[in-house]
Amino acid sequence: MPVFIRSTAELRPWIERLASCQVLALDTEFHPERKYFPELMLVQLRGDEGEVLLVDPRGDVDLRLLGPLIESKMLLVHGGEQDVDLLSRATGGRATRWLDTQVAAGFCGLGYPRRLGDLVLAVLGRAMDKGETLSDWSRRPLGAEQLRYAADDVLVLAPLAAALRERVEAMGHAASLEACLAERLVEAHAAPADEQAWRRVPSAHLLDDRERAIVAALAAWREKSARFSDVPPHSIAPDHVLVDLARRRPRSAEAMRENRRMPSQVWKQHSATLLGILSAAERLPVPPAPLTGLAADVVRLAARVAEAERGVAAALVLRECDVERVIRGSQISEWRLGALGRQFVDFTSERTTISVSGKWVRVGTVDDE
């Protein structure tokens, strides 16, 4: 049975035990719906092969006691960037070493992203009950099924991580995995990039340069406002409002209301700020347009061919910014090129092409298949 910890006094003796462990498996349960930063509801920990601890952040627990453990141990997580970020904020500890089993699976032919239950079944042959995924973790007391579910998520991490490492090493991708994990850990700790928030606005790529510049400024303002008020960005202003403002460029609060879908709190609470951004439209810097269309599709296809050949997930190795770099002829990370393989590099320099069967073909030769 897991140990449920509700107070600092209960946690303190376990900190001494965990200090001697080599590896710390961890997970969190949180609610992302109502706050800018998700609300931490439960912390699950397991040192080496010991007991599972379920630490209750909603009790009288000083989570800062966990900070030195987060900083000093090898952490095992699954899809853990948000877990690491949340724990860093809650404990003051900044993770320095980790293995994310979701990422590791993408370096040994198992695809990315894969759910924990799917991976455990595929790799360890064990079925997991994931019925509590969308459970209400804010309620107290937590039910027996919730506690079992929470404990299972960390119980499986050590054996799963060991099995995945073995597969990654056998396929020769250990160095690429380590480089990827190091890069993602930096990103997990990075401050929010407000100037990039416009990329999450679904139709921003359809706008012209000046409209895109306005949406970028509006999205950055929305992000800062949401963080200051600790609310989700969409509660400040929905995406469609930002796009509408960029396209119409109203010059008064009354003109804003001409859009029947304009929420009243937007023009009532923020009209002065929004009008100020719109009035500066001609002076706003224009962010580079996302590269879409055939060229981007071809690069993504080449990455998928490399994935099928080498077992390294294209979604992990080639991000959208890397697709843009390839098209523009800019350099991407050495580890990414190594993971994608020589054939992909030759493809970008037009020495290799792709056959109808999805195979690499040297330019000037005929595919025999």
303 lies in the same domain as 225: no
Establish if 368 belongs to a structural domain: no
Establish if 253 belongs to a structural domain: yes
Last residue of a domain, one of 253, 283, 313: 283
62 lies in the same domain as 156: yes
**pLDDT at position 369, please?**
42
Each residue of 219-244: pLDDT tens digit? 999 999 999 999 999 999 999 999 99
CB 138 within 8 A of CB 58: yes
Rounded to whole angstroms, the Cα distance separating 221 from 151 reads 40
Q: Which two tokens stand for residue 175?
A: 């160095």
Q: Which two tokens stand for residue 366?
A: 């005929």
229 lies in the same domain as 163: no
58 lies in the same domain as 125: yes
275 lies in the same domain as 348: no
Rounded to whole angstroms, the Cα distance separating 112 from 115 reads 9
11 lies in the same domain as 24: yes
Q: Are strands 52-60 and 39-47 parallel, antiparallel or unpaired?
A: antiparallel
Boundaries of domain holding 53: 3-189
17 lies in the same domain as 129: yes
Each residue of 17-64: pLDDT tens digit? 999 999 999 999 999 888 999 999 999 999 998 999 999 999 999 999
CB 21 within 8 A of CB 47: yes
Is pTM, for the whole model, over 0.85? Answer: yes
Q: CATH number for the domain including 91? A: 3.30.420.10
Last residue of a domain, one of 163, 189, 215: 189
Q: What rounded mean pLDDT belongs to the chain?
A: 92
Q: What total of structural domains would you count in the chain? A: 3
Establish if 81 belongs to a structural domain: yes
pLDDT of 169 higher than 70: yes
58 lies in the same domain as 109: yes
Place of tokens 């992302």: 32
**pLDDT at position 132, please?**
60
Each residue of 332-355: pLDDT tens digit? 999 999 999 999 999 998 899 999
Rounded to whole angstroms, the Cα distance separating 166 from 338 reads 19
**Per-residue DSSP letter, 369:** -
Listed in sequence order, the residues at least 6 apart from 259 whose beta carbon sits closer than 8 Å to its beta carbon are 241, 244, 248
Give, in order, the Cα–Cα distances in Å from 350 to each of 219, 313, 347.
38, 22, 5
Rounded to whole angstroms, the Cα distance separating 65 from 73 reads 14
80 lies in the same domain as 183: yes
Q: CATH number for the domain including 204? A: 1.10.150.80
